[in-house]
Structure 1
């Protein structure tokens, strides 16, 4: 049948879309010319008379959309569709089939063959423009989603590679650090008490540097274990009162050096099922932060049993943490202050939260009345913790 005349200036379906390139395949010259006139006001149109020519053109220069008649010589519309879906460069192209075959069954057959849409002849110019505009929008959305997924996968791979590097680096650093510590101890013993004071002081500084490096290596190992879900707890009956006193004893020297009054109050004994080394790590992280950011002002550490839980609080009167930063500081590599004034990697609080939550506990932060920061850790005494930490 003869193709209808194009309507006068239909612009409502064009919607400010960029001029996409459409490949049209139809063996009927009148229909081909009609569709080309309708679409050329909004799109760049390449018209060919059979499926074989359409396939060659699409593979050489993939269009933004293919519009194909079903019944054509050499290669029909369904054959063209299958060939385009098989080729990597045209697999995701939106493809619309045109056919004089009406009815629900024909439409289902067209869509089930892999077409994105199916139009029955005769159709209006408005319907044709609307279908094409809709399919182009959907294609752009699919492309954006695919790009976002690719970026997310790339980021995930980069994070995985980083965590692998941290794990390998930590393992490789541990052995020479242990050997270095041993050599320093042997050197100090060899020098004896009669060694020059300046040499002993330098040895003391060297031991301090090695301890800091060893702590950093341990933190890197923790990052690797936690992010891969391999943080295992070595559980046992622990008196937290004894553990707290022992851990804070190492912080007393730093407190004295900074002129900070460190007060430890224990209402104990407090016995529960914990991983002592991990809980000691949490205490050390919180106390070290309090001394670092406390500006020489008093720091109070309190352990208090409360029914089926035990509560640990570390209170400083230093620079404080803004309300909007209180959740962020528990993120990996996150800090509440500038690295120009305070050192650290921004991992201590993140590791501490993972350890506490692995014990089925929680850690919170709030303002200290009069200025400063208070961290509160709540741990269950009777309920056994989960042995392995999983990070989402």
Structure 2
């Protein structure tokens, strides 16, 4: 029986260690969720917060991001935050929209004609520092940046590049999207992560400047806004976003409903989304994971993050079971050793009391005899 307990304890310990390593690896597998860690350069803590917008009659647009950005700037100014390095930025953000087109055209140098290539394409309009939040692997060329003077540059994923040009070495080549000419800045690979592959759109992806959407007559409804903001105390960054949408977090109590549920947007704090407290909350709400009360189409990276959350919660449950089993085995073994002990606390205390009282009585007797001048029986 003892050998079985030792074997069970060893298996539990090994399983707990393996699951812990797996959780650490999985939690770091999505670069899209770890922008705050990459941005942090000193002692000041940061948090990455995302806002996902609903599909509605009067959609959110880039004008709404200006209001949100102003709120963040004011709060950072009030907090008197300063960058670690002189001239560096204290915070960073990005936003995007999603649309689709039935085809694009390119110039055929062989016959001098314009021809339609491919079928359906997904088009993502990006603003801010989008590719710093989503650092996809560059196969060729470069990303596009908000600071560029020419907003007619685009990044293609490898599937779009192959469909249009049957090659990845296509930097500087041109294509036409809804009558607007774009130059290829680079080609990217979304990555090998299993959940990213599952969530990534089936249609080839084209990334263009958000400011070019109007010219191409594509939908400019906001899909997502992301920011990395100083977070000196828990939920400081998230509360800035909530306050922008009219939620006063200072007046809430523990019994109040989650303030996010009052909004038509979904606010996610990407940083620490796989922490123990978040995973425990996810386990308690696991039955409602498929329930959604908002008409929001999440981008592929958020869908991948949510699939990863399910994986992390399952691993966390395994870790809890392993830890509990190990704890029970250890406690039962301690109880067994205590029950079969060869000493007893009562006997130990009696021995201590006897030794202490015997020595004290002997000492007092000798001291008393010396004071009176009488000889003790030990001196006779």
Larger Rg: 1
Give the TM interval when normalised to the shorter protein. under 0.3
Q: More helix by proportion, 1 or 2? A: 1
Q: Please, what TM-score do these two structures have when normalized by structure 1? A: 0.20
Q: Which has the higher contact order (CA 8 A, sep 6+)?
A: 2
